[in-house]
Chains A and B, each alone.
Chain A
Amino acid sequence: MGRYVIRRLLQMIPVFIGSTFLIFFMVYALGDPVAAMFGDRAPDPATAAQIRRDLYLDEPLWKQYLHYMGQIFQGNFGTAFNGQSVTELMASAFPVTLRLTIVAIVIEMVVGIVLGVFSGLRRGRDIDTTVLVLSLVVVSIPTFVSGYLLQFVFGVQWGWAAPSVAPEAPLNELLLPGLVLALVSLAYVTRLTRTSIAENARADYVRTALAKGLPRHRVITRHLLRNSLIPVVTFIGTDIGALMGGAIVTERIFNIHGVGFQLYQGILRQNSPTVVGFVTILVLVFLLANLLVDLLYAVLDPRIRYA
């Protein structure tokens, strides 16, 4: 197990280098950001040259990348145009997005799995059909539609929640955006759980467990659910990274100043340190989440542990 973890951690290094280079290259390909800093006015060449030298933009791309990586290993992620260091931006943005992601994951897990179990155990009946149709509807609505809709209904029409989240992003204000962010994944979790449960419900070991007289709820929670959750856990695990990155839309709609907000600003202003820095961290989150999933497998299924 320990060696497995170390191997997985070592694998992250090339992924890390490759992804940062790709992102760096793509942001660079968008063009020189200095011209846009001056708005509709042509930049005065001397000032522009000074800014370029300061931002290391007057060097060839490979040199810029090496310089950037060198800085990163010293813990310096560069500076955003408004004078704040990118690490400072990260320190303010990641906790907010993390809270939002946790809210979304909790909603998605609790609601998704419960609905999935109920409909999976009642396959083909009315409740199952209803859940299937509902999840289909939810899957087909893009986040920005459900976001604006729920924001308008809950925030403006009914006044249940504030339509935008305060800068401190307290947990209770994140419930609505968290729900919006969770919706699509929630539908997937429901459907995955349902299929998995429905399949395993007819498996031999379940029949055996029932035959030897175990109470039904114990069969479901200890035997059926444990086996059925493996694909669901995989999905949720990979979803952590996707949710953090995908928060761009949700954060914009609810004006949450998290990772999505900073990334959006960074892209709009072509601030490569911001974009590359944030995406790099997201890549790491994604990799770690995957690692976590693989480790969870072993917990859920002892056969994997000893293999």
Chain B
Amino acid sequence: MRRATRAKWGVCAVGVALVATACGGGAGAGRSGVVSSSWGDPQNPLEPANTNEVQGGKVLEMLFRGLKRYDPKTGAAENVIADRIETSDSQNFTVTLKTGWTFSNGEKVTAKSFVDAWNYGALLSNKQKNAAFFQYIDGFAQVHPDGGSPRAKTLSGLVVKDDRTFTVKLNQKFSSWPDTLGYSAFMPLPQAFFRDHDAWIQKPVGNGPYLVDSYEKGSVLRMRKWGKYPGDDPARNGGIDLRVYTDNNTAYTDLQAGNLDLVDDIPAAQLKHVKSDLVGRYINQPAGIIQTLTFPMYDKRWNRPGAEKVRRGISMAIDRDQITREIFQRTRTPATDWTSPVLGADGGYKPGLCGDACVFDAARAKQLVKEGGGIPGGRMTLTYNADTGSHKDWIDATCNSINKSLGDDNACVGNPVGTFADFRNKITAKRMPGPFRAGWQMDYPLIQNFLQPLYYTNASSNDGKFSNRPFDKLVNEANAATDTGQAVAKFQDAEKILAQQMPAIPLWYQNGSGGYSDRISHVSLNPFSVPVYNEIKVN
């Protein structure tokens, strides 16, 4: 009976082991003061000028402090390391640093820390994905030419005066330029970064409230409070463990099981019952993200005279209220302008600026589309990428709404593209057959960031290739204005041209959503929909 016995033993072993997991579970124990949070694997190594997505960005926010920082509540740019940034002509700036700031390895934060970091970020051969953020600094064309190799190693517009001071010369007037300096691309770097780049990448050293304890790429990044942090926003917890999840459903399940403290992305399927699951521990608040349907203005059929009526008509045919309620469970808010509510009235957000064109009116929509000569070819497609973000649901709902309003079942149909990469390729190659989905997450809370990169002629993210001379002129004037109020007014005038021309239909403002365990408190999201980690308290 030798074999049979062995088989039975096997069964018992498995049974025992299954029970044993009961004791082995609960990874939550034994990490006092440390908050565990869900994370997505960042796409690039964690370098300030090479991080252009949220997952890497949230780490930089914990590890670094720059000249400015965006207030986690209001989004206003406030001086951190900058003592003052002065200019008399909106083009030449003198930056003076505060004293007493060091990196966590003891090195002083000086003017050189910034200038070296920016030069590194801008230089073409370093292949930094955020290089374009330095494009306004004089000499960018030499270090980052459109083709060929760089003709200079450093930006001629940056000059170190002494340890505490450096000057910046821009290649155009840009009054709100200092307010862009809270973006992670502008963070200072210690000399260790340049001396031993590989070692630095393994374990980044910054000057923020946290320092890296250990980093297992692709699975967990453990950060601990830096006791000697000189800033006035130190960590109020012992540290943060960022754990990589590929599936936000698993992260949510872990949260429910008490295995995880914080989830900053509630899966769509859970939205219906998240409020009862996490009583009082569910966050749903506006973030600086807007979603639009962009028209391919390079396509003659969409850009002939009179087509603006069709574009406006399609906008009116979309029942934003119903879609945000039914599909998104109110984690989106119907958009009535091209910016975001997080800017606030002073920052340039103006509800209703889009006017009638963003108000659902089926009869008027039908009439406008007819006046404009109808939908090109009688039928249009809404292109989206089907691999992430569950875009299919809302695209189908939007098409449904358009079809119903226009009284034509064939007016609109969704057009899925397999992968995000392919989707982006088709957009860059100007091969979009009709309107396509677009999302814009702000880099910094400025109205300029919602308009110029997206609709200025030949701007970096002007995917629809919209080009309008009065619009460009107003943007230039706004950038040159020294008075913030004046600049905002000019930008809003430019926005009114968008309302007339409708190169992109504003759909809805996206909220940030999150949930947390009863182990922690003081959890909130900043205007970028990233949790304010250093404020979190462990109960």
Contacts and interface: CB of A to CB of B under 8 A. Distances in A.
Interface of A: 30-33, 35-47, 49-51, 54, 81-84, 89, 92, 106-107, 110-111, 113-114, 148, 151-152, 155-156, 159-164, 166-167, 170-173, 175-176, 217-218, 220-221, 225, 252-255, 257, 261-262, 264-265, 268-270
Chain B interface helix/strand/loop/mixed: mixed
Contact of A221 (B2, B129, B131): B2
A255 B7 contact: no
Contacts of B26: 159, 162
Nearest to B218: A257
Contact of B52 (A39, A106, A255): A39
Interface string B115-145: 0000000001101110110000000000011
26 contacts: A35-B427, A38-B52, A38-B424, A40-B438, A41-B453, A42-B462, A45-B146, A50-B127, A81-B44, A82-B44, A92-B218, A92-B219, A106-B10, A111-B11, A159-B257, A160-B21, A161-B21, A164-B259, A167-B220, A167-B243, A173-B25, A221-B3, A252-B247, A253-B250, A255-B243, A255-B245
B421 A89 contact: no
B460 A255 contact: no
B21 A41 contact: no
Contacts of B52: 38-39, 41
Interface in B1-24: 1-4, 7-8, 10-11, 14, 17-22, 24
Q: How large is the interface on B (under 10, 10 to 19, 20 to 34, 35 or more residues)?
A: 35 or more
Contact of A162 (B8, B127, B257): B257
B14 A167 contact: no
B468 interface: no
B422 A31 contact: yes
Contacts of A113: 7
B419 A225 contact: no
Given A35-B421, A44-B131, A167-B220, 9 more contacts: A36-B425, A155-B25, A159-B25, A160-B22, A175-B17, A175-B21, A221-B4, A252-B246, A255-B250
A40 B440 contact: yes
A270 B20 CA distance: 40
B180 to A, nearest CB: 15
Contacts of A111: 11, 14
B363 interface: no
Contacts of A37: 43-44, 129
Contacts of B53: 39
A44 B132 contact: yes
Contacts of B257: 155-156, 159, 162-163
Contacts, number: 211
B421 A33 contact: yes
A81 B373 CA distance: 47
Nearest to A41: B461
Which 4 pairs across A and B sit closest by C-beta, in order of nearness? A36-B421, A110-B10, A167-B219, A35-B424
B1 A221 contact: yes
Contact of B145 (A46, A89, A173): A46
Contacts of B44: 37, 81-83
Contacts of A30: 418-419, 421-422
A163 B388 CA distance: 23
B460 A42 contact: yes
Nearest to A167: B219
A265 B2 CA distance: 46
A111 B43 CA distance: 42
A35 B245 contact: no
A261 B26 CA distance: 23
A284 B247 CA distance: 28
Nearest to A178: B14
B420 interface: yes
Contacts of B21: 160-162, 172-173, 175-176
Which of B11, B22, B45, B250 has the largest count of A CB atoms less than 10 A from its CB?
B250
A152 B277 CA distance: 14
A261 B129 CA distance: 25
Given A42-B461, A54-B127, A264-B246, A172 B217 contact: no
A269 B27 CA distance: 30
B230 interface: no
A281 B352 CA distance: 57
B437 to A, nearest CB: 10
Contacts of A42: 427-428, 460-463
